[in-house]
């Protein structure tokens, strides 16, 4: 099992945004910063989830423990439901990726202080937009 830490960040809401992905386990430590253009904070969190799932699929990881400090992302994955229609596309794509590529995918909400690595990567990604 790999631990997958994700974070989305925006400079403004909406504003220039970035995704940070930090993966550790099974002999791996992977870090990725992805500039996302202009998104809301919540959209950036969902985009970070998608980037993480794609990266894990590329590396053929099969069991994931996703850690996020975004309650909305954690709840959406657990309930397979979002209230706002603007997040439906993100959730649908995430669930599809999970179904196709992974044997097990657990999601856990964590406090921001436990998500520092992904936060730093997301903030670096914001700067990559410029």
- Report the alpha-carbon distance of residue 117 to residue 6 in Å, rounded: 9
* pLDDT, average across residues 62-84: 97
Q: What percent of the chain has pLDDT over 90?
A: 97
- Return the CATH superfamily for domain 2-128: Ribonuclease H-like superfamily/Ribonuclease H (3.30.420.10)
Cβ distance 33 to 117 under 8 Å? Answer: no
- Across 28-66, b (16+ Cβ under 10 Å) vs e yields eebebbbebeebbbbbbbbbbbbbbbbbbbeeebeebeb
Q: Cα–chain-centroid distance for residue 62?
A: 17
- Report the alpha-carbon distance of residue 50 to residue 97 in Å, rounded: 8
Residue that has been written with the tokens 């196709």 in this structure: 100
Instruction: Tell me the average pLDDT of the chain.
Output: 97
* pLDDT, average across residues 7-15: 96
pLDDT tens for residues 82-107?
A: 999 999 999 999 999 999 999 999 99
Q: Is the dihedral of CA 40, 98, 76, 30 positive or negative?
A: negative
| Alpha-helix residue ranges (DSSP H) falling in 8-58 | 41-58
């Amino acid at each position: 099992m790999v631990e997958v830490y994700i974070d989305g960040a925006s400079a403004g809401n909406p504003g220039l945004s970035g995704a940070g992905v930090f993966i550790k386990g099974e002999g791996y430590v992977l870090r990725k910063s992805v500039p996302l253009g202009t998104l809301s904070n919540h959209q950036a969190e969902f985009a970070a989830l998608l980037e993480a799932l794609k990266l894990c699929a590329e590396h053929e990881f099969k069991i994931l423990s996703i850690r996020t400090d975004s309650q909305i992302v954690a709840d959406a994955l657990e309930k397979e439901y979002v209230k706002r229609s603007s997040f439906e596309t993100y959730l649908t794509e995430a669930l599809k990726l999970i179904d196709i590529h992974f044997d097990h995918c657990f999601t856990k909400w964590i406090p921001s202080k436990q998500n520092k690595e992904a936060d730093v990567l997301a903030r670096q990604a914001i700067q990559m937009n410029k």
